[in-house]
Amino acid sequence: MLRKFIHCSDLHIGRQRLEGKLPESDLAKAFSYIVRYTIEYKADGLLIAGDLFDSPSIQPPHLQMVVECLAPLKEAGIPVFAIEGNHDRPSLSSAMPTWVRYLNDQGYLHLLTIPFTADGPEITPWDPETRRGSYMDYQGIRIVGAGYLGAGTARRMKAIADVLERLDEGQAHPPTLMLLHAGPEYIVRETGGYDQESLDFIRNVVDFIALGHIHKPLHHGWAVNPGTAENIRLEEAGNYKNPVARGMAEIIVDLSGSEPVFTAEILPVPRRPVVNVDFDCTSLSGRNLADKIHRELLEYIRTLNVAPETVLRVYLTGSLNLARAGLDPAELAAFLEEQVPVIAADIVLTQLNQPLVAELAEEAEDLLLSRENIERQAFTELLHDISLPGLDDEAVPKLVQLLMDLKEDVRQEASAEEILDRINRHPVTDHLARKLTEEREREQSIVEVAAGGERDDH
């Protein structure tokens, strides 16, 4: 027995991008794609993990967009379960009605909330009469909406888990899926995220967490954030270098066994193309420097033949004194928009005159966040438990690298010969083989000595 959900988050409908140069409809288009997919895939429900709107005070057309996106689901009879993110509400403690609440009251979605009082979280079942509640038992699955928990996220998650555990009075709780608008604390330090401890704690009562808030896709196995469906900030198009899928997640729940099995896959959502261009200004000098940059950049961009629906994002790199060069980035952007058939151009100065700092920051981010790092750690831990001759502290990282490379080979569907070749060529293979041989020889000589001493006894 399978249940299928589509999970999205952070649609930020109403967001102005590049001072409104990018169409607002892009965000609705992405959302509409997700809705169509949900219907065609015959999913049991759509999950929205917060920040449906960019602000609590969106303009009428933005509400209209969302209503038009959600209407087909209402017609198809596919329920939508939503929570509010930090952008949907003026503040955590605000009692003001929100546009998500309005959509709830109009029957477009089920807004799940867990209010916190002095006594802790107030967790109530969904009441179809009042259309209020914290969770709904739907198709054999308990869907809980934890919402945005602010700076107290880790602490409040534990409090919620505590109450959830006691809900069923000693009976086994149904398979539980939680909607949560939060990121890991290593990303959202200042605003409070979840940490390993709160995750471990909540794991006892929650089988799967559908996350939002962080615009980058995150896959923790049983907790998943699909990332944004459109580039809410244009940096999102450049920061996530590996073109990993992002935008929505397919969650499948297998209820046929004794234990529910949740699996999730993050899928891509088509988005407006953003072309990131690096342009090194270092070698340019002399008079009329600004003009020179205008001309040379234009010449370079013309060679790229970008599609007309593209957003051009130009990172000026190298060293350049903006003031002395008389270069106005807004003017340069306007010039490019006039000369090249693109929807908008954006000049980014953050990489200028500080390439090292930018690179270091990027490296640090990669180190912290990457899935690769987690895998590397797992391999290292596994290898530490194996006692293999020659597998010392120096060899472990080398072998880990080899394993990572092999994993990538398999993913890229490398041939058996190519894989064997990589193993044979790698210095760590040689090192381990030599140590193993030495060890065997030593053992052999011990056996021989022992055997030599006993020969006369027969």
What residues contact 337, with CB distance under 8 A and at least 6 apart? 21, 344, 345
Nearer to Mn ion, 51 or 207 (CB): 51
Nearer to Mn ion, 8 or 402 (CB): 8
Nearer to Mn ion, 85 or 192 (CB): 85
Helices 60-76 and 25-40: angle between axes, nearest 10 degrees: 10
Nearer to Mn ion, 193 or 260 (CB): 193
* In the complex, minimum distance from the CB of residue 184 to Mn ion, in angstroms, rounded to a whole number: 14
Question: Could you say which of 9, 32, 86, 351 contacts Mn ion (CB under 5 A)?
Answer: 86
* In the complex, minimum distance from the CB of residue 57 to Mn ion, in angstroms, rounded to a whole number: 16
What one-character-per-residue DSSP string does 375-422 give?
HHHHHHHHHHT---TT--TTHHHHHHHHHHHHHHHHHTT--HHHHHHH
CA torsion through residues 100, 43, 222, 188, sign:
negative
Question: Could you say which of 3, 213, 219, 313 contacts Mn ion (CB under 5 A)?
Answer: 213
* In the complex, minimum distance from the CB of residue 391 to Mn ion, in angstroms, rounded to a whole number: 45
Nearer to Mn ion, 49 or 327 (CB): 49
* In the complex, minimum distance from the CB of residue 148 to Mn ion, in angstroms, rounded to a whole number: 7
* In the complex, minimum distance from the CB of residue 51 to Mn ion, in angstroms, rounded to a whole number: 4
Stretch of 43-51, 258-266, 414-422, 423-431 contacting Mn ion, by CB under 5 A: 43-51
211 and 223 Cβ atoms separated by less than 8 Å: yes
Nearer to Mn ion, 30 or 345 (CB): 30
Asked if residue 153 binds Mn ion (CB under 5 A), the reply is no
* In the complex, minimum distance from the CB of residue 55 to Mn ion, in angstroms, rounded to a whole number: 11
Nearer to Mn ion, 85 or 175 (CB): 85
Nearer to Mn ion, 85 or 226 (CB): 85
* Footprint on residues 300-359 left by Mn ion (CB under 5 A): none
Asked if residue 85 binds Mn ion (CB under 5 A), the reply is yes
* In the complex, minimum distance from the CB of residue 85 to Mn ion, in angstroms, rounded to a whole number: 4
Cα 325 from chain centroid (whole Å) = 40
3-state secondary structure of 77: coil
Nearer to Mn ion, 31 or 315 (CB): 31
Between the CA of residue 82 and those of 36, 123, 352, 393, what are the distances in Å? 17, 16, 42, 49
Q: Which residues pair with 268 in a beta bridge?
A: 247
* In the complex, minimum distance from the CB of residue 434 to Mn ion, in angstroms, rounded to a whole number: 54
* In the complex, minimum distance from the CB of residue 29 to Mn ion, in angstroms, rounded to a whole number: 21
* In the complex, minimum distance from the CB of residue 273 to Mn ion, in angstroms, rounded to a whole number: 25
CA angle 259–262–267, rounded 5-degree value: 170
What residues contact 395, with CB distance under 8 A and at least 6 apart? 428, 431, 432
CA angle 15–16–21, rounded 5-degree value: 145
H helix and E strand count, the chain: 14, 17
Interaction pattern, residues 45-84, with Mn ion; x per rule: CB under 5 A: ------x---------------------------------
Asked if residue 15 binds Mn ion (CB under 5 A), the reply is no
The footprint of Mn ion on this chain (CB under 5 A) covers a number of residues equal to: 4
Q: To the nearest 5 percent, what fractions of the chain are helix, strand and coil?
A: 40, 20, 40
Nearer to Mn ion, 87 or 101 (CB): 87
Distance CA 48, CA 65 (A): 16
Nearer to Mn ion, 182 or 206 (CB): 182
Stretch of 139-147, 207-215, 278-286, 408-416 contacting Mn ion, by CB under 5 A: 207-215
Residue holding tokens 């109009």? Answer: 106
Instruction: Count CB neighbours of 399 within 10 A.
Output: 21
CA torsion through residues 240, 246, 251, 252, sign:
negative
Interaction pattern, residues 375-414, with Mn ion; x per rule: CB under 5 A: ----------------------------------------
Single-letter amino acid, residue 261: V
Q: String of b and e for 28-59 (b: at least 16 CB within 10 Å)?
A: bbbbbbbbebbbeeebbbbbbbbbbbbbbebe
* In the complex, minimum distance from the CB of residue 109 to Mn ion, in angstroms, rounded to a whole number: 17
CA nearest to 343, candidates 307, 301, 304, 295: 307
Interface residues with Mn ion (CB under 5 A) are 51, 85-86, 213
